Amino acid sequence: MSVGQTSSKASKSQDASPRQPGVPVSGWEAVIGLEVHCELLTETKLFCGCRNRFGDEPNTSVCPVCLGLPGSLPVLNSRAVELAMRIGTALQCEIRPSVFHRKNYFYPDMPKDYQISQYDEPINVNGRLDLPDGTSVGITRAHLEEDTGKTTHVGESGRISGAEYSLVDYNRAGVPLVEIVSEPDIRSGQQARMYVSELRAVLVASGATDGRMEEGSLRVDANVSVRRSGVQDLGTRCEVKNLNSLRSLAKAVDFEIARQVALIESGGVVAQETRHWNESASKTMPLRSKEEAFDYRYFPEPDLVPIIPGDQWQAEAIAGMGPMPARRRERLVDALGEEAAGAAGFGSGLHDQVVTVVELGLDALVLDAVQLGADPRLTLSRAANEVAANLEGVARLSVDSFERLISLEAKGKLSATQAKAVLSEMLAKGGDPTDIAKARGFEVLASSELAGVVAGVVNSRPKEWSRFVDGDEKIVQFFVGQVMKETRGKADGKAVLAELNRLRDSSKASPD
Amino acid sequence: MTGSGDTSEGTSARPAGGPEVDRARTQATSAIPPFYSAPRLSTAQEISAAVISGEISARQVAEAHLERIAEVDGDVHAFNEVTAREALDAADELDRRVALGENPGPLTGVPIALKDNLCTRKIATTCSSRILAGWRPPYDATVVRRVREAGAVIIGKTNMDEFAMGSSTESSAFGATLNPLDRSRVPGGSSGGSAAAVAAGFAPVALGSDTGGSVRQPAAMCGVVGVKPTYGMVSRFGLIAFASSFDQVGPIARSVKDAAILYEVIAGHDEADSTSLDRIAPSVVSRLDDGSDKIRVGVVSELVSAASPDVASRVHEAAEVLASAGSMVDEISIPMCVYSLSAYYLLAPAEASSNLSRYDGVRYGLRVDAPSVELMNIATRSEGFGAEVKRRIMLGTYALSAGYYEAYYARAQRVRTLILQAFEAAYEHFDVLLAPTSPTTAFAIGSKVDDPLAMYMSDACTIPSNLAGHPAASVPFGTGDDGLPVGVQVLAPALAEPLMFQVAAVVEHGAPHSGATVSSQGTEQASGMKSQVLR
Ligand SMILES: [Zn+2]
């Protein structure tokens, strides 16, 4: 569709009741680009020596520079540049000489009433982010800029208009940010969510940020437009702000897609505007229209000199930076062996475990344990579940003891239930798996003993047994459960299953 | 709101200083009476030597100058605030150190006047604007710290055109400064208060800031020496910005030597200013007696033709002085010069429009209350800024606006590059260039206030150096037909301050003695006033 349609149509309500959000609308394609602001993990602010820390008393981490006092001048924090270069490297960008510009607009939480940002000569351009599902999203740019302060509007509306008074905290003013702008390569709320989730993992892995969305370390704005399938021209886009969690991002994007499709299908025209995601109402609401948009009057910041990221400096900046999540996932899948790798496609349980383990930084533990001889799939599973559930305990878990635990289970010396219990004690208090198992009286029943217990359970449940023999596969879990109960978890689940199958097969083979 | 008491002082009435100027009253008045005390105590160099040797105390020097200010500044209004108490305290401290045998520095006990756009800790710094009236910075500008550390005694903050926007000091919110040589005339601007203070004997040296000629032009009009250093040679930290890519702090003095001494104190790298050049201050004082033999001097014909005939004649006479000192003098045409003014009046206002955004009533300075933040911003800025500042904010905002940026700002930036290249080409053939400082001598108060373009024209000869980022010095050289001083400019390539000072000293030495310049009056004064200073 084109932007310049009749105004009578454009005046239609922009809030036409949308279709069910989240459901792909046939005949339509959504085009989404994301702008992610990432606070850098520096000791000090971007242009002064004030502490860069979340949660300080308001207006205590401030100085003449970050308060924009007359006569003060910015001095660039080279650590922030280095972290920006790390981000550029992690996102496979071209890292270039760059200059700062001033973005001019009045706002009380912006001390100079302009923001020092990068404009048409950003430090990082032309990168890409590979997502776990095999797609990849282009990165237009990832540039440096300073954060603004924080305004709290006191009054019923909670917005600047109608506020009784407003309080400004300048602690955040001048905190270094990298704004990562994606190409409009994203097609759904789900993919948007995956992109941000992966981007966060990459940023954390690069050491540039702590990735805490709830503290505002990562802030996401989405540009959303829709077009009929097969159409090349882009539709009019809306910018959606206030996306404070992955969940609200996916919901807001899907809502916005549905709203725009419904609007166009009912004869309306999407107006270019900035919209606010209202979490409690689960809808986007207009914030300001294009006509009200600021003219930022960008021009080169005369108080700063260009950044020249020489080879030497770049090399120093990225020294010690580990591999990115995509590469780490690959390594993990490789370690699983050929057969398992085939089963670890996107959407599989195995893939989810790989993603979780990398996301939580447990991949080194898994790989090291496998290196020592632990069964790869079992190691991955225990890491993605039991270890993941007690991350604080990881420090107490040596690779060596983890490997021995996995091997005890793999060799059938501990049942799954027992292994889990031992592992949680290792995470809680540390210790050797064999000692813990012994102290708890854990030992897997000898197979002769097991056969007796299984036979006893089978004999005491003739009705259920005949259903199993007749082909009711589901009921096998009932028998496993009963055996476990009898043995207080000492039986090995796999061995129980094998014994049950053996009994069934032999009762089939010998007709009554 | 910021939680810092230092930055949110009340916005009281206008600071101490001279009375509002009654233009009608001043029309008839003439030069203030000559004042000089012992000539050997009239320069910074002599004062410093005398204080260190114990011949005179820093306190006596400060008191003599404060007395002079008390007697005469009511008629001149060079100061927005005279910092008498701080000056005497600083002088006492210097005397104590001298008594212990210390040598505090090259400016020991030397009173210095500071333009009111240089931040001074706990001392009001207003830019002669209502919007900053009463604002007390929590810190010293780097140049202020450096002059303090060199032993200088800050005697007051001088009047200026509001935010340094103007060429006559008439746009000050606190009333105009009058030219001490003829109180019906302007002292030039925007550092008119600093130039007038030096000319009137309130301080042997002063600091001004030069964005388009604001040190050199008032120095010329008041008959004193004014220097704009190479861009980046002197820290801008604590200089309240007008146009950041042009602004440079520069010395004003009664002699080239004093200007050179002060230059050496303030120049050199400062980590707090990213545009500061990574260099130590060059030695310039040592070059002052080197003469100008074999130095290639180009007289810029476009700038000479911009001046009135009497001023042009002085420039040619100065060229003859250099020629007879062995220089090779020739005319040079730099046609790009004629675009200087147009480029400057797009670029400087563009930067200013952004630099002055912060005066929004939220954090410091004036606040005019209104029902919403936006209306408060508007009310504060409407009331806080004067007409010239508003004019330039609007001009600059327009030049940067979407749809106009390319035609105005970007094009002016290209002209700036061409002008720089034209000067660099000229310096392949010449070591220094010669030009008038101001096209005319000091003009009558009120004569240009209603004609901004005519006012802008008075910077035509100084602006090229600011566009190029090159150094330039204005040296008094005779008088115009009206008997008022004329300044001749020595322009030099980037970082060539040593050569510039060297040539300026030759020009100064060859300048005709005229009764109009205060310094020569001083030299001719009977030494009867020595006792007044010495007590
Ligand atoms: Zn700070």
Domain boundaries, chain A: 28-291, 325-439, 447-509
Residue type, B362: V
CA-CA distance, B493 to B475, in Å (whole number)?
A: 17
pLDDT at A160: 63
Q: Residue A62 is nearest to which of B2, B362, B364, comparing CB atoms? A: B2
CA distance B519 to chain A (A): 33
Q: In tens digits, what is the pLDDT along chain B, a chain of 535 residues?
A: 333 434 433 333 333 433 444 433 333 344 444 444 333 357 999 999 999 999 999 999 999 999 999 999 999 999 999 999 999 999 999 999 999 999 999 999 999 999 999 999 999 999 999 999 999 999 999 999 999 999 999 999 999 999 999 999 999 999 999 999 999 999 999 999 999 999 999 999 999 999 999 999 999 999 999 999 999 999 999 999 999 999 999 999 999 999 999 999 999 999 999 999 999 989 999 999 999 999 999 999 999 999 999 999 999 999 999 999 999 999 999 999 999 999 999 999 999 999 999 999 999 999 999 988 899 999 999 999 999 999 999 999 999 999 999 999 999 999 999 999 999 999 999 999 999 999 999 999 999 999 988 899 999 999 999 999 999 999 999 999 999 999 999 999 999 999 999 999 999 999 997 444 443 333 333 333 333 333 2
Strand order in the sheet with B472-479: B79-82, B153-158, B111-115, B205-210, B248-253, B225-228, B472-479, B485-491, B432-436, B296-300, B328-332
Q: Hey, are the CB atoms on B401 and A112 less than 8 Å from each other?
A: no
**Separation of CA A174 and ligand 1 centre (Å):** 7
Give the chain B residue nearest A171 (alpha carbons): B2
CA-CA distance, A491 to A498, in Å (whole number)?
A: 12
Residue A7 in this model has a pLDDT that exceeds 90 = no
Q: Hey, are the CB atoms on A74 and B274 less than 8 Å from each other?
A: yes
pLDDT at B415: 97
**Separation of CA A204 and ligand 1 centre (Å):** 25
Q: List the single range of A12-16, A290-294, B53-57 with lowest mean pLDDT.
A: A12-16
User: Taking a contact as any Cβ pair under 8 Å apart, which residues of chain B between 122 and 161 contact chain A?
Assistant: 125, 127, 132, 135, 137-139, 141
Tell me the three state secondary structure of residue A235: coil
CA distance B365 to chain A (A): 10
CA distance A73 to chain B (A): 6
CA-CA distance, A197 to B333, in Å (whole number)?
A: 64
pLDDT at A382: 95
For chain A, the average pLDDT equals 89
Catalytic status, residue B115? yes
Catalytic status, residue B519? no
CB atoms within 10 A of CB B67: 12
CB distance from B242 to chain A under 8 Å?
Answer: no
pLDDT at A162: 66
CB distance from B394 to chain A under 8 Å?
Answer: no
> Taking CB atoms and an 8 Å cutoff, what residues of chain A touch B401?
295, 297
pLDDT at B372: 87
pLDDT at B16: 40
Query: Which helix H or strand E contains A117, and what residues bound it?
Result: strand A114-118
Catalytic status, residue B190? yes
Specify the length of chain A in residues. Answer: 512
User: Taking a contact as any Cβ pair under 8 Å apart, which residues of chain A between 289 and 308 contact chain B?
Assistant: 295, 297-299, 302-305
Q: Hey, are the CB atoms on A71 and B273 less than 8 Å from each other?
A: no
pLDDT band at A22 (very low <50, low <70, confident <90, very high): low
CA-CA distance, B535 to B63, in Å (whole number)?
A: 10
Which member of B57, B115, B128, B172 is catalytic? B115
Q: Hey, are the CB atoms on A73 and B273 less than 8 Å from each other?
A: yes
pLDDT at A425: 93
Q: Give CA separation, A13 vs A46, A225, A264, B236, B341, in Å.
A: 43, 17, 11, 53, 52
Q: Residue A71 is nearest to which of B2, B238, B363, comparing CB atoms? A: B238
CA distance A273 to chain B (A): 18
Q: Could you tell me the two tokens for A239?
A: 């910018």
Q: Hey, are the CB atoms on B245 and A302 less than 8 Å from each other?
A: yes
pLDDT at A23: 60
CB distance from B4 to chain A under 8 Å?
Answer: yes
Q: Hey, are the CB atoms on A303 and B244 less than 8 Å from each other?
A: yes
pLDDT at B122: 96
Give the chain B residue nearest A104 (alpha carbons): B354
Q: Residue B274 is nearest to which of A112, A168, A304, comparing CB atoms? A: A304
Contact B529, B521 (CB under 8 A): no
**Average pLDDT of A217-244?**
93
pLDDT at A19: 57
CA distance B335 to chain A (A): 27
CATH architecture of B3-16+39-279+291-336+419-527: Alpha-Beta Complex (3.90)
CA-CA distance, A512 to A510, in Å (whole number)?
A: 6
**CA-atom Rg of chain B in angstroms:** 22
Query: Which helix H or strand E contains B497, and what residues bound it?
Result: helix B497-510
pLDDT at A357: 93
CA-nearest of A409, A413, A351, A400 to A380 is A351
Q: Residue A299 is nearest to which of B139, B362, B400, comparing CB atoms? A: B400
What is the value of ipTM here, to two decimals?
0.90
Contact B315, B357 (CB under 8 A): no
Q: Per-domain residue ranges for chain B?
A: 3-16+39-279+291-336+419-527
Q: Residue A295 is nearest to which of B2, B141, B401, comparing CB atoms? A: B401
Q: Residue A280 contacts by C-beta under 8 Å, 6 or more apart in sequence?
A: none
User: Taking a contact as any Cβ pair under 8 Å apart, which residues of chain B between 350 and 389 contact chain A?
Assistant: 350-351, 353-354, 357-358, 360, 362-364, 372-374, 377
User: Taking a contact as any Cβ pair under 8 Å apart, which residues of chain B between 473 and 512 contact chain A?
Assistant: none
CA-CA distance, A104 to B107, in Å (whole number)?
A: 42
Q: CATH for A447-509, among 1.10.10, 1.10.3470, 3.30.2010, 3.40.50?
A: 1.10.10
pLDDT at B101: 95
> Taking CB atoms and an 8 Å cutoff, what residues of chain A touch B400?
104, 297-299
> Taking CB atoms and an 8 Å cutoff, what residues of chain A touch B241?
70-71, 303
CA-CA distance, B173 to B170, in Å (whole number)?
A: 8
Query: Which helix H or strand E contains A182, and what residues bound it?
Result: strand A176-182
CA-nearest of B61, B62, B58 to B97 is B58
Greater pLDDT, A506 or B202: B202
